[in-house]
Amino acid sequence: MNVSTLYGASKRVGKALTFGILVVPVTARSALAEPAVIAALGDSLTHGYGVPQGEGFVPQLEGWLRAQGLDVIVQNSGVSGDTTQGGLSRVGWTLGPEVDAMIVTLGGNDALRGIDPAVSKANLAGIVEAGQVADVDVLLIGVEAPMNFGADYKQAFDGMYGELAAQYDVALAPDFFEAIRDLPADELRALMQADGIHPNVQGVARIVPVLGPFVQSLVERAVEE
């Protein structure tokens, strides 16, 4: 719930707002008429690398959620080139008092650099823990490692998202690229930028409706709590 613009003395305590001695529970959201705020913590996939402003993952996702009837703002906390370590270093200021839930799409740059999956997993665990300390619902969005560093590396890396989701009891969308990963090569190329790593506008448009329901469930759960 966004409380930053509601009276200077107000603050968020768990899932309630305090105004002096008056406690207003989160169920008063409708009375306050404030949208749910979702922080999207990630790298270039989140940031919208290579696509026109307003047509990247975050704005397309927000548009999709609004089309489902949800009053929501998705904050773009993606930084191109970021690793899980970078995400961990900035999760604190990402989780502002107005944030109700957080989606995390990190790890792709770790895999491209061959960072030990145990290190990446520990960083993601720290991000999830920060969300839980802030009483914010979390959705992990997995990415798959290429075969550059061998099958054992890929297995450890790809598996860490499910392991973390089970360990911390948070929601999981197993694969950011699920919507397009298994397409024929020619069709896939038409949905990707020239680097073969980032989706173009049309690719994002294919990805969002598949990931959208996971985020929709996250938002609905956050609003109900």
Residues annotated as catalytic are 44, 195, 198
Contact 210, 175 (CB under 8 A): no
DSSP state of 149: G
**What is the phi/psi pair of residue 30, to 5°?**
-65, -35
Residue 162 corresponds to which amino acid?
G
Q: Is 74 exposed, middle or buried (0-12, 13-18, 19+ CB in 10 A)?
A: buried
Torsion of CA 56, 59, 61, 62, to 10 degrees: 180
